[in-house]
Amino acid sequence: MVQISDSADVQLPVDLLRQFDVPGPRYTSYPTADRFVEAFTAHDYACALRQRAEGAVVGGKPPLSLYIHIPFCESVCYYCACNKVITKHHERAGEYLDALDLEIDLHAKALGEPQVVSQLHLGGGSPTFLSDEELARLMTSLRRAFQLAPGAEISIEVDPRTASAERLARWRELGFNRLSFGVQDFDAEVQKAVHRVQSFESVRDLVRSARDLGYESVNVDLIYGLPKQNPASFARTIDLVGELRPDRIALYAYAHLPQRFKPQRRIDPAELPTAADRVTMLSGAIAGFLSGGYTYIGMDHFALPGDALAAAKRQGRLHRNFQGYSTQPDCDLIGLGVSAIGRMGATYSQNAKTLPEYYDAVRQGQFPIVRGLALTRDDLLRRAVIMALMCQGRLEFESIELSHLIKVPEYFRSELESLAPYEAMGLVVREPGALQVTAKGWFFVRAIAMAFDKHLQADRVRERFSRII
C-alpha cells in the first residue's frame, strides 16, 4: 500500500499541475455550503440541538467544537471573500458582543448542562479588532455556557497589524494556545496592490514572541495568484516564511470573482499573474516547503513533522471541518455570530449574513438561522466516502459497506469508472476492496473526491469554487 506520507519524494510536472488548474469544492463539508436551502429553519436547528441534549444520537454524543465569527476589520483587503464589516468605530464591537451573549444563552438553554468543548476557534473578519477586554468578556461568556476540555485547542486568527507582544501575552492568559497569522505575501508591491501592508520584521517579531509565550502552534496563511505576484517574488516570500519556521502553513489559491465580492473590483485584472505563472508559483512553493522539512498534509496545508496535524496524518487520524484539516475526531460544530456555519448531527446550518438580520433574530430570542440542510442517506454515505479520501487518502470498501449497508462497487460503479483516467496518470490505485490515493495523487485529492459528489456531477457550473491547485 502506498503511504500518502511519502509525498516529499514526489515530482510534480508543471503540465500535470496545469491540467488540474480548475475550480472545485474544498470539501470542508459534504454537501457543500452552496447546497444549503432556506427551507431549513431555526426550528429544525433547535430540534437538532435537542437531539444532542437528549443523547438521541447513535453511538452517543460526538465531541463539540465552537466557531465564533467576528466580522469587523479596520480596513479592506482587496482579495478578501470573507463576510466582513469595514469600520474604524470600535464601539460597534460592544453591540455585537451583546448579541453574541444572547445567542450563547440560547444554546445554553437548549443544550441544558454545559457541553464539553474540545476545540474553539475565533475567525473573521479580524477577531483581533476586539480589544483585549472585549476578548476577555467573550471568553468569559463562552466558559459560562460551555466546559472547555483540558487540552482543548483554542485558536484565534490574527491580523499582524493589530497585534503586539503584549497582546499575545494577554491572549495566552485568556487561554488561547494557537495562533494563525494572515500574511498572504511579503512583497511590498503585492501588499500595496491588495491594500494590506505589513513588514516581514513585524511578523517575525510576533512569531518569536508567540514561541517565547508557549503557544503550541503558529500558522501562517499565504495566497498565490495575487496582483503583481510573479514566480521570483513569490519564491522570496517562500524563503522568508522558511525563516519564520511556523508550525503550519496554509497556501491558498486566489479566486478572482469580482462579480461576487465587491472589494475585488479594486484589483486590476491586468496585474494578475498568468495561469502559467500561478502554476509555477505553486510548484515552487510546494518544492520549497517539502525541501524545508514540512509534511504535506493535504490540499493546501503543510506542517512541521512534530506538529499535531502531521502526527494525525501519520496515524490516520486526520479529520475535516469548516476550518479545514483538524486533529479533532468527527464532531458537532456550533457556529456563533453573523454568517457562521455549524454542523449538528446530520444537519448543517448557517446564521444570517447581515448584522441587522442577526441582531433582530437574537433579540427576539430566536436562533439566527437563515438556511441549512438535513442530510439524506445518500448524502451521509457520500460524505463518508469523500472524507475518507480527503483525510486518509484511502477508501476501504468494507467499512463503508458495513456502515451504510451498500456494496461499493455496485453503488458507485459509474464513479469508480470515471476514475480510470486518474489511474492511468498514477493518481489512484484500485485494489481488491479499496481505492488508494497515491503519493502523487494526494496533491490532487480534491479532483478525486469530486468524482463522488452527486450534486457537482449534476451541476457543471463550478466557477463559484476556488481552484483545485
Cα-based distances in Å from 312 to 119, 309, 320, 439? 15, 5, 12, 17
What ranges in 54-199 are assigned the alpha helix state H? 92-111, 132-145, 165-173, 188-194
Chain centroid to Cα 185, Å, comes to 19
The Cα–Cα gap between 370 and 349 comes to 8
Residue 347 and residue 44 in contact, taking contact as beta carbons nearer than 8 Å: yes
**Using the 8-state DSSP alphabet, how is residue 75 labeled?**
S
Asked whether residue 446 is marked as a ligand-binding residue, the answer is no
Cis ω on the peptide bond leading into residue 227 (within 30° of 0)?
no
- The CA-CA-CA angle for residues 396, 398, 402, to 5°, reads 130
Contacts of 335 (CB under 8 A, 6+ apart): 67, 69, 322, 341, 342, 349, 350, 351
Asked whether residue 79 is marked as a ligand-binding residue, the answer is yes
Asked whether residue 80 is marked as a ligand-binding residue, the answer is yes
Asked whether residue 184 is marked as a ligand-binding residue, the answer is yes
Strand (E) or helix (H) holding 343? strand 341-344
**Using the 8-state DSSP alphabet, how is residue 306 labeled?**
T
The Cα–Cα gap between 127 and 142 comes to 15
Asked whether residue 196 is marked as a ligand-binding residue, the answer is yes
C-alpha cell at 466: 476556488
DSSP per residue, 187-235:
-HHHHHHHT----HHHHHHHHHHHHHTT-SEEEEEEEES-TT--HHHHH
Asked whether residue 60 is marked as a ligand-binding residue, the answer is no
Q: How many residues are there in the chain?
A: 469
The Cα–Cα gap between 225 and 209 comes to 30
The Cα–Cα gap between 51 and 181 comes to 37
Asked whether residue 67 is marked as a ligand-binding residue, the answer is yes
Q: Say how many Å lie between the first and final Cα of the chain, rounded.
A: 25
Asked whether residue 255 is marked as a ligand-binding residue, the answer is yes
Asked whether residue 294 is marked as a ligand-binding residue, the answer is no
Annotated binding residues for [4Fe-4S] cluster, written as ranges, equal: 73, 77, 80
Annotated binding residues, written as ranges, equal: 67, 73, 77, 79-81, 124, 157, 184, 196, 221, 255, 341
Annotated binding residues for S-adenosyl-L-methionine, written as ranges, equal: 67, 79-81, 124, 157, 184, 196, 221, 255, 341
